[in-house]
Amino acid sequence: MIIIKLNATDSTNSYLRRLYSSSAIEDFTTVIAKKQTQGRGQRGAEWESQEAKNLTFSVFKSLEDFSLTHPFGISMVVALALRKALQSFLIPQLYVKWPNDILSADKKICGVLIENVMKQQDIVASIIGIGLNVNQVEFDNLPRASSLTKITGAIYDLDEVALAVLNQVQYYFDLLKEGGFENLKTEYESCLFRKNKPSTFKDAEGLLFSGFIKGVSNFGNLQVLLEDNIIKEFDLKEITLMY
């Protein structure tokens, strides 16, 4: 596995995308930056991270020889790999907030931005961006954010945490490749944040509604049991879990 370490870049996802466009690139090539000047989050948000305190990195995964029936498999691989790696550092109460935020003690410690590389209709590769809050302790104006240090009081070696995550990402991709989609889904649903608990959601128009998370479809849509006793499926554009 090739690991490129940078002091700064705009976004490690963008860096890998440029690398891929300009040269052949080995599977699992990883770019880690101490600082991103234009770190990107989901839904067009910014990703802020204190310089050299946290992990901001991206992994290139070729999918050329991968018969990927459902792209949501990639999301599950990454979420489960992160959870397993963090468990090995004894981080408590780890849950996956759909689709792939990682929470500990009800606070977000990690976000994931997956950007697929398409050739015609096929996904030929994935750029998996991971922002993991490790040693940062101040999160001004972000009451729902936390870090490994805030949760356990310990200071972590960033390289050690990154390697643990990368090893688990490889392990879970192997499982997916060997036909483990259903098993991954079972594991994913077993650690889904607020599953079977009364929850409040916001729809695309900003209206709040309540329901119970029941699971995910093979396409990665969230299955929610609504008040009229009907289970409805929502994609990322249609719903935000408010807690």
CA distance 161 to 157: 6
- Cβ-contact 93, 115 below 8 angstroms: no
CA atoms within 13 A on the CB side of 142: 16
- Among residues 165, 64, 79, which one has the least CA distance to residue 114? 79
229 secondary structure, DSSP code = S
Task: Show the tokens assigned to 17.
Answer: 């995308």
Q: Is 11 in the site for ligand BTN (CB under 6 A)?
A: yes
How many residues sit in the footprint of ligand BTN (CB under 6 A)? 20
Of 13 and 180, nearer to ligand BTN (C-beta) is: 13
Q: Which residue has the tokens 């990107």?
A: 40
Binding residue (CB under 6 A) for ligand BTN from 73, 111, 215, 220: 111
Q: Minimal distance in Å, beta carbon 60 to ligand BTN?
A: 12
CA atoms within 13 A on the CB side of 7: 0
Of 11 and 223, nearer to ligand BTN (C-beta) is: 11
Of 99 and 180, nearer to ligand BTN (C-beta) is: 99
Site string for ligand BTN, 69-108 (x = CB under 6 A): --------------------------------x-------
Binding residue (CB under 6 A) for ligand BTN from 47, 95, 181, 188: 47
Q: Is 8 in the site for ligand BTN (CB under 6 A)?
A: no
| 61-69, 128-136, 166-174, 190-198 -> range binding ligand BTN (CB under 6 A) | 128-136
Q: Minimal distance in Å, beta carbon 229 to ligand BTN?
A: 32
For residue 119, the Cα-to-chain-centroid distance in whole angstroms is 23
Residue nearest to ligand BTN (CB): 111
Q: Is 13 in the site for ligand BTN (CB under 6 A)?
A: yes
Q: Which residue type does 121 have?
A: Q
- Cα-based torsion angle of the residue sequence 123, 108, 36, 14 in order, rounded to the nearest 10 degrees: 10
